[in-house]
């Protein structure tokens, strides 16, 4: 996914969501299942699944593998593709920079969310 493939405005909105940022941070530390995220963050499981789907569709997290639980159920573990996220305001300009791990190597995207359409 290149910069042209990423919906910049939608990504800006997602990155301003507290629960989305918590999921990105948690899956950056270690791969997590939806249940683990729900438990760790104290959020309802249904809402956690919805946020995971949103982050996955935006290319900010990805399924890593499927793990077998002690109950014999297979669950997906997710990992963050975001390695760095910076918001800068300098000389009356707002700049968002996103550093991501991609299959074809790391990328760095920068944009001004106030000018995105």
Q: Check whether 2 has a pLDDT greater than 80.
A: no
Query: For 68-94, how does the pLDDT look when each residue is reduced to its tens digit (9 = 90+)?
Result: 988 999 999 999 999 988 888 888 888
Q: How many domains does the chain have?
A: 1
* Strand 82-90 to 107-111 pairing: unpaired
Closest CA to 61 of 111, 115, 19: 19
Question: Does 3 reside within a domain?
Answer: no
How much of the chain, in percent, has pLDDT values that exceed 90? Answer: 53
Check which CATH number belongs to the domain holding 53 and give it. 1.10.10.10
What does the alpha-carbon distance between residue 102 and residue 97 come to, in Å, rounded to a whole number? 15
Query: What pLDDT shows up at residue 116?
Result: 57
pTM: 0.81
In a domain, 101, yes or no: yes
The rounded distance, in Å, linking the Cα atoms of 106 and 18 is 25
**What integer pLDDT is reported at residue 87 of this predicted model?**
84
Is residue 4 predicted with pLDDT exceeding 60?
A: no
User: Does residue 19 lie within any of the structural domains?
Assistant: yes
What does the pLDDT read at residue 93?
A: 82
- Domain range for residue 13? 8-111
Per-residue pLDDT tens for 29-55?
999 999 999 999 999 999 999 999 999
Distance CA 66, CA 116 (A): 36
Is residue 85 assigned to a domain? Answer: yes
């Amino acid at each position: 996914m290149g910069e042209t493939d990423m919906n910049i405005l939608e990504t800006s909105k997602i990155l301003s969501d507290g629960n989305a940022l918590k999921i990105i941070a948690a899956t950056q530390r270690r791969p997590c299942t939806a249940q683990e995220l729900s438990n760790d963050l104290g959020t309802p499981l249904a809402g956690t699944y919805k946020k995971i789907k949103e982050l996955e569709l935006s290319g900010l997290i990805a399924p890593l593998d499927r793990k077998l639980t002690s109950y014999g159920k297979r669950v997906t573990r997710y990992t963050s593709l975001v390695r760095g996220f910076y918001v800068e305001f300098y000389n009356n300009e707002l700049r968002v920079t996103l550093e991501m791990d991609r299959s074809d190597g790391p990328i760095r995207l920068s944009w001004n969310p106030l000018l995105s359409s």
